[in-house]
Amino acid sequence: MKGSGNGQTMEGAPLNRNVRGVPLSATLAINELSSRLIAEGKQIFRLGLGQSPFPVPMQVVEALRANAHQKNYLPVRGLPALREAVADYYNRRQQLSVRSENVLVGPGSKELMFILQFVYDGEILIPTPSWVSYAPQAHLIGRPVRWLPTRAEDGWLPTPEEIDNFCRKEPGRPRLLILNYPNNPTGCTYSAGQLATLAETARKHKLMLLSDEIYGELNFTGGHVSIARFYPEGTIISGGLSKWCGAGGWRLGTMTFPDVLDWLKEAMAAVASETYTSTSAPIQFAAVEAFRGGIRIERYLWHSRRILGALAENCRRQMSDAGLQVATPQGGFYLFADFSPRGKRLRAKGVHTSDELCLRLMEETGVAILPGSACGRPEEELTARLALVDFDGARALAAAEQLPQDEGIREDFLEAYCGRVMTAMTRLCEWMD
């Protein structure tokens, strides 16, 4: 395509330097590749994208239908009734003191996190491994990422000691530390005691915490605890509908702020007003029903946790038996596996990086997983994330509701209702051998 008389072509148009080299999000890329291969007639087991397998609860769907006519722009900060419902949710579930004025609603927690990084003028501290988009968002904004190391024996979660050691090297710098638990990509989480100790360290160094608790309701025991209980003055809680409510495509996220960070919330609202304007009106009205909860929502969550916990433990055990090191998940729908104990066998196959591992696995077994390099791990480290979501969640929920409540989910149930995930595990483990 020719330019307008100056000899330049559109192909030569400049890109913002922060965008150069930024690929499509790793999880979305693996999902699109899986879709393309399936369209070509290949059998692919989709363990790459972390999308909830469960349907949106029917009462929330009914609320969306009832509000499909809502067409007006809503307030930038969110529908007042929804902000009130979100505040009440955190006060009820976490014994906090959140006011509706402390809540900001956006089109997905991902968008709100991006805007937070954009307006915050300080260092971004990200544990490794981590969700695939924290670091690329910082790169897009032009802010360097400071990686916080973690250890497998700590469930790949940052400890107070590691945080303290990092901050003491350059004391006094403004820092935003991103925490995520139950964790993506590992499924690991913190106990209340661990959070209390971690909060003391954050207070000591005056850290601002972004506590990404999007998987909180999928803690297998139902006992998720927010660090905001112990560090309310410095914690921003990120949440939304995508994981526990099965509504990823609805794109609704929330953030709650302490009173002392109202200036930050207002700065984010100003950016929102000049970018996305407001979040979809029908979705916000329906979300009120989700955050209000009730017995049907509680039953839905109980069975979801029941299925996910049993499936995660079964898959972890199979992979451990195949000689892999796998962190024990406590929530969500992920496993984070270290294939390095089988490194000699993999090198014999020509596999030397996590990207090569995942590519060969997909080519030879049809099992699509995400390389550890996408989560901030070194390329030569043979780690990978598995999202245990390739099954019909509606069918599994209906079957689980017929089981006695005191009866555990057995392997025959998993074979019958989560069969694609179980088959993927069999293929992966056989490939390793």
Find the CATH number of the domain harbouring 287. Answer: 3.40.640.10
Whether 139 maps to a domain, the answer reads: yes
Same domain, 89 and 211: yes
343: domain CATH number? Answer: 3.90.1150.10
Residue where the block lists tokens 């303290």:
164
Mean pLDDT over 413-428 rounds to 97
Whether 249 maps to a domain, the answer reads: yes
Same domain, 243 and 302: no
Same domain, 399 and 428: yes
Give me the sheet containing 123-127, strands edge to edge: 103-106, 253-256, 235-240, 208-212, 175-180, 123-127, 145-148
Same domain, 124 and 239: yes
Helices (H) and strands (E) in the chain, counts: 15, 13
Which of 266, 293, 320 terminates a domain? The answer is 293
Same domain, 241 and 336: no
Q: List, in sequence order, every beta strand (DSSP E) within 132-286.
A: 145-148, 175-180, 208-212, 235-240, 253-256
Identify the domain containing residue 39 by its residue range: 26-55+296-432
Asked whether the predicted pLDDT for residue 36 surpasses 90, the reply is no
Whether 261 maps to a domain, the answer reads: yes
Q: Give pairs for 84-93: CB < 8 Å, separation 24+.
A: 85/287, 85/288, 85/291, 85/292, 86/239, 86/254, 86/256, 86/291, 87/256, 88/291, 88/292, 89/291, 89/292, 89/293, 90/226, 90/228, 90/237, 90/256, 92/293
Same domain, 272 and 339: no
Same domain, 310 and 209: no
Same domain, 233 and 88: yes
CA 359 – CA 135 distance, rounded (Å):
23
Check residue 41 and give its pLDDT.
80
Check residue 40 and give its pLDDT.
82
Asked whether the predicted pLDDT for residue 311 surpasses 60, the reply is yes
Q: Average model confidence (pLDDT) for the chain?
A: 92
Is the separation of the CB atoms in 185 and 375 below 8 Å?
yes
Asked whether the predicted pLDDT for residue 20 surpasses 70, the reply is no
Asked whether the predicted pLDDT for residue 170 surpasses 70, the reply is yes
Same domain, 262 and 357: no
Check residue 2 and give its pLDDT.
42
Q: 3 pLDDT band (50/70/90 cuts)? A: very low
Who wins on pLDDT, 144 or 348? 348
Check residue 433 and give its pLDDT.
80
Which of 293, 313, 342 terminates a domain? The answer is 293
Which of 269, 293, 317 terminates a domain? The answer is 293
Residue where the block lists tokens 């922060």:
18
Cis peptide bond upstream of 129, omega within 30: yes
Number of structural domains (the chain) is: 2
Who wins on pLDDT, 68 or 3? 68
Nearest-5° angle of CA 64, CA 69, CA 75? Answer: 85
Asked whether the predicted pLDDT for residue 323 surpasses 60, the reply is yes
Check residue 21 and give its pLDDT.
63
Cα–Cα nearest to 319, from 186, 429, 187, 431? 429
Whether 215 maps to a domain, the answer reads: yes
Predicted structure pTM score: 0.92
Same domain, 107 and 50: no
Return the minimum-mean-pLDDT range out of 28-32, 276-280, 323-327: 28-32
Same domain, 270 and 168: yes
Is the separation of the CB atoms in 131 and 180 below 8 Å?
yes
Whether 13 maps to a domain, the answer reads: no
Whether 224 maps to a domain, the answer reads: yes
Whether 396 maps to a domain, the answer reads: yes
Q: 1 pLDDT band (50/70/90 cuts)? A: very low
Whether 6 maps to a domain, the answer reads: no
Check residue 275 and give its pLDDT.
95
Same domain, 260 and 336: no
